[in-house]
Amino acid sequence: MYSLTRKSDGAGYSGGMSITFLAGDNTVERKHDARPEVGRQIRVGSLYARTMQWQDWWQTSPVLEILEDTPGKVVFRTHNSVYTWTCDV
């Protein structure tokens, strides 16, 4: 189980999916079961879509800086937020 929480207001999501994205020229590189990395966006949430009434995942803008990196926890900064990513697996 993965969790992503924004420090300023506690917003975020958790679930069995943690994917990072790196956009290039007409391409998107994905890494599944991934930890936050500088330069990549991260999405955490449900493996399966539920309904359009509920949120299924939370995605950040690109990671600018890793502030703390331990085996089960990464604290990082994006352009306008600080997040905590955790992994219970």
Q: What is the pTM of this model?
A: 0.89
Q: From CA 7, how far away is CA 15, in angstroms rounded?
A: 18
Q: How confident is the model at residue 82 (pLDDT cuts 50, 70, 90)?
A: very high
Q: What is the mean pLDDT of the chain?
A: 91
Burial of 43 (0-12, 13-18, 19+ CB in 10 A): buried
Q: From CA 38, how far away is CA 36, in angstroms rounded?
A: 7
pLDDT at 69: 97
Domain boundary assignment for the chain: 2-87
Q: How confident is the model at residue 56 (pLDDT cuts 50, 70, 90)?
A: confident
Longest dimension (CA), the chain: 35
Residue 49 has pLDDT above 80, yes or no: no
Q: How confident is the model at residue 67 (pLDDT cuts 50, 70, 90)?
A: very high
Q: From CA 17, how far away is CA 1, in angstroms rounded?
A: 8
- Residue whose pair of structure tokens reads 């991260």 in the numeric block: 42
pLDDT at 27: 82
